[in-house]
């Protein structure tokens, strides 16, 4: 993992791409709170509004928003697909996003 940014107690790390998913890990107190990923297909979709060149910035912003407003357990992995994002915004309710335990 490669360090990306830190805000308060949250540190963001770029993860190696796996299965065409671009992922950022959000670490709090040395533990993975959230892994947020977006499919490469979503980043090339004209409607998504997620620029491939700024995908980690987008993941950082969206991940911090999720951490602030949603309730979930440490070690949650969320994957955003092309149908979940439009004009740079996640349009699928958090409860309906693809999630798994890390």
Domain segments of the chain as ranges: 1-43+73-102
Asked if 70 contacts 50 with a C-beta cutoff of 8 angstroms, the reply is no
pLDDT tens for each residue of 33-65? 999 999 999 999 999 999 889 999 999 999 999
Indicate whether 14 pLDDT > 90.
Answer: yes
> 3-state SS of 19-72?
CCEEEEEEEECCEEEEEEEEEHHHHHCCCCCCCHHHHHHHHHHHHHHHHHHCCC
Which pLDDT band, with edges at 50, 70 and 90, does 16 fall under?
confident
């Amino acid at each position: 993992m490669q360090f990306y940014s830190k805000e308060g107690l949250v540190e963001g790390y770029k993860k190696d791409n796996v299965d065409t998913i671009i992922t950022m890990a959000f670490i709090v107190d040395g533990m993975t709170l959230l892994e947020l990923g977006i499919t490469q297909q979503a980043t090339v979709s004209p409607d998504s509004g997620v620029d491939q060149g700024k995908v980690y910035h987008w993941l950082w912003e969206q991940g911090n928003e999720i951490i602030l407003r949603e309730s979930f357990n440490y070690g949650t992995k969320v994957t955003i697909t092309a149908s979940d994002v439009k004009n740079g915004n996640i349009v699928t309710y958090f409860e309906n996003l693809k999630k798994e335990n890390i």
